[in-house]
Amino acid sequence: MAQIGKFGRTRARVARTSRSIDDVGRQAVFFARAIAHIPWAIRKHPKEVLRLVAEISMGTGALAVIGGTVAVVGFLTLASGGTIAIQGFSSLGNIGVEALTGFFSAFINVRIAAPVIAGIGLSATIGAGSTAQIGAMRISEEIDALESMAISSVPYVVSTRVTAGMIAILPLYSLALVGSFLAGRFTTVVLFGQSSGLYDHYFTTFLDPVDVAWSFVQVLVMALLVMLIHTYYGYNASGGPSGVGTAVGRGVRLSLICVVAVTLLVSLALYGGSGNFNLSG
């Protein structure tokens, strides 16, 4: 529709900016409510939390055939660990130091590859599924029915899923990290024929337990953001099935941005420009 009156385009831009700011405020309030109700959800709805943990980790129905999120995140991290080993062995071999491939696996997998891949897998599986489920509940008026039965919908629908995601991510990421390490070792030692002792020496030398601990913290923050973002878009979905699809797309888009942003901020805060390691000799 054409803008009527003076400065129509300027008023339209100001209105869009105002709506964007309002949306950020609504998201912040929703996130605060969801986090504040986590203790209530654990205390009042423990069976629902356990059901969601099982559904998130191993899947239900047809998804259980391939293992749910375990299989998806595991496959992604196995592939990324093998790719890092291939690129590291090839690139370092060009300058005659392919022995440092173990360093690549210990350094890049922990700090960058495994957390980012795990975050992407969470967004594509747990996050998108939560948005679709809650969105379907919203458009079919199930959430309104919960409210009519004096059941607070935010703790029961949202906080339980956020809690389940935070619980499930720790063993999931542990398996993913071990898988990326095994994939890098298998590729380098078995496929490329490097000495296992040589690979293990550089791998253990540069594998810092502090980096591993921070990678778990990083993934926990990612999981929290992914679950909050996707539950928000599902909870506020409208417009029928097409509106649920739009909500899933918006949730995936924003959560992927947050995954990369968390990785960038953690890297800048912890490692800065030096990388926190010395390679000499």
- Running DSSP on this structure, what letter comes out for residue 272? T
Half-sphere exposure (CA, 13 Å, Cβ side) for 108?
Answer: 19
Does 36 score more than 90 pLDDT?
yes
Does 148 score more than 90 pLDDT?
no
The rounded distance, in Å, linking the Cα atoms of 180 and 79 is 8
Handedness of CA 255, 183, 82, 276 (dihedral sign): positive
Q: How confident is the model at residue 77 (pLDDT cuts 50, 70, 90)?
A: confident
Which of 172, 247, 252, 249 is closest to 216 using CA atoms?
Answer: 172
The rounded distance, in Å, linking the Cα atoms of 225 and 262 is 10
Q: What is the predicted pLDDT for the residue at 229? A: 93
The rounded distance, in Å, linking the Cα atoms of 244 and 237 is 6
Count helices and strands in the chain by DSSP H and E runs: 13, 0
The rounded distance, in Å, linking the Cα atoms of 269 and 117 is 20
Q: For residues 153-174, give the mean pLDDT.
A: 89
Specify the 3-state DSSP secondary structure of 59. Answer: coil
**Mean pLDDT of all residues in the chain?**
83
Give the tens place of pLDDT for each residue, 233-270: 999 888 888 889 999 999 999 999 999 999 888 888 88
- State what percent of residues in the chain have pLDDT above 90: 22
The reported pTM is 0.83
Specify the 3-state DSSP secondary structure of 237. Answer: coil
- Calculate the CA 121 to chain-centre distance: 6
- Lowest mean pLDDT across 12-16, 147-151, 197-201: 12-16
The rounded distance, in Å, linking the Cα atoms of 170 and 188 is 27
